[in-house]
Amino acid sequence: MTGRTDPAGPVVYKFGGSSVGDAARIGHVADLVAAADPPPVVVVSAVAGVTDRLSALVRRRGAGHDVSDDLRAVALRHRALAEALLADAPPVLQRVAAEIEGVVDDLLDETRAPTPGSAEDGDRLRALGEDLSTRLLAGALEARRHPVRRVDARDVIPTDARFGAAEPREGDLARAARQRILPALAAGEVVVVQGFVGRAPDGRTTTLGRGGSDWTASLLGAALEAREVHIWTDVDGILSGDPRAVTAPRGLDRIGYEEAVELAYFGAKVLHPGAAKHAVSRGLAVRIRSTFAPHRPGTLILRERWEPAGVAAVAFKPGVVLIQVRSHPSAMPYGFLARVFEVLTRHKLPVDLVATSHTSTAFTLDGGADLERAAGELRVFADVTVRPDLATVSVVGHGLLDEPGIVGRVFGVVGSTPVHLVSQASDVSLSFVVGEPHAPGLVERLHAELVEARPVGSEVAP
Contacts with ligand ADP, residue ranges (CB under 6 A) = 16-19, 45, 211, 233-235, 238-239, 242-244, 263, 268-270, 313, 315
Helix intervals (H) in 347-423 = 372-378, 406-414
The count of C-alpha atoms lying within 13 angstroms of the C-alpha of 218, restricted to the half-sphere facing its C-beta, is 26
Task: Give the residue, chosen from 72, 178, 210, 409, that forms a contact with ligand ASP under the rule CB under 6 A.
Answer: 210
Burial of 189 (0-12, 13-18, 19+ CB in 10 A): buried
Q: Taking contact as CB under 6 A, which single stretch among the options 43-51, 92-100, 105-113, 425-433 is the one that binds ligand ASP?
A: 43-51
Report the nearest approach of ligand ADP to the CB of residue 234 (Å). Answer: 5
Report the nearest approach of ligand ASP to the CB of residue 17 (Å). Answer: 5
218 binds, among ligand ASP, Mg ion, ligand ADP, none (CB under 5 to 8 A by kind): none
273 near Mg ion (CB under 5 A): no
Q: How far is CA 299 from the centre of its chain?
A: 16
46 near ligand ASP (CB under 6 A): yes
**CB of 264 closer than 8 Å to CB of 288:** no
Three-class secondary structure of residue 337 per DSSP? helix
168 near ligand ASP (CB under 6 A): no
Q: Taking contact as CB under 6 A, which single stretch among the options 210-218, 250-258, 310-318, 398-406 is the one that binds ligand ASP?
A: 210-218
**Whose CB is nearest to ligand ADP?**
16
Report the nearest approach of ligand ASP to the CB of residue 29 (Å). Answer: 14
Q: Left if phi > 0, otherwise alpha if psi is -120 to 50, otherwise beta: which for 239?
A: beta
End-to-end, the C-alpha distance of the chain in Å comes to 39
Nearer to ligand ASP, 198 or 256 (CB): 198
196 near ligand ASP (CB under 6 A): yes
Nearer to ligand ADP, 270 or 321 (CB): 270
Cα–Cα distance for residue pair 59/89, rounded to 1 Å: 38
Nearer to Mg ion, 17 or 27 (CB): 17
Residues 6 or more apart in contact with residue 226 via CB below 8 angstroms: 9, 10, 11, 12, 41, 220, 284
Which one-letter amino acid corresponds to residue 357? S
Report the nearest approach of ligand ADP to the CB of residue 74 (Å). Answer: 18
Length of the chain: 462
Task: Give the residue, chosen from 10, 16, 158, 195, that forms a contact with Mg ion under the rule CB under 5 A.
Answer: 16
DSSP letters, 25-91, are HHHHHHHHHHT-SSPPEEEEPPSTTHHHHHHHHHHHHHTT---HHHHHHHHHHHHHHHHHHSTT-HH
CA distances from 195 to 127, 135, 159, 339, 400 (A): 9, 13, 13, 38, 35
CA distances from 288 to 231, 254, 301 (A): 5, 10, 8
40 near Mg ion (CB under 5 A): no
**CB of 242 closer than 8 Å to CB of 209:** no
Nearer to ligand ADP, 116 or 249 (CB): 249
211 near ligand ASP (CB under 6 A): yes
Judged by CB under 6 A, the chain residues 146 through 165 that form the site for ligand ASP are none
Report the nearest approach of Mg ion to the CB of residue 16 (Å). Answer: 5
Report the nearest approach of Mg ion to the CB of residue 227 (Å). Answer: 22
Cα–Cα distance for residue pair 174/220, rounded to 1 Å: 8
18 binds, among Mg ion, ligand ASP, ligand ADP, none (CB under 5 to 8 A by kind): ligand ADP
Nearer to ligand ADP, 188 or 297 (CB): 297
Task: Give the residue, chosen from 27, 129, 139, 211, that forms a contact with Mg ion under the rule CB under 5 A.
Answer: 211
Residues lying near ligand ASP in the complex (CB under 6 A): 16-17, 45-46, 51, 129, 195-196, 210-213
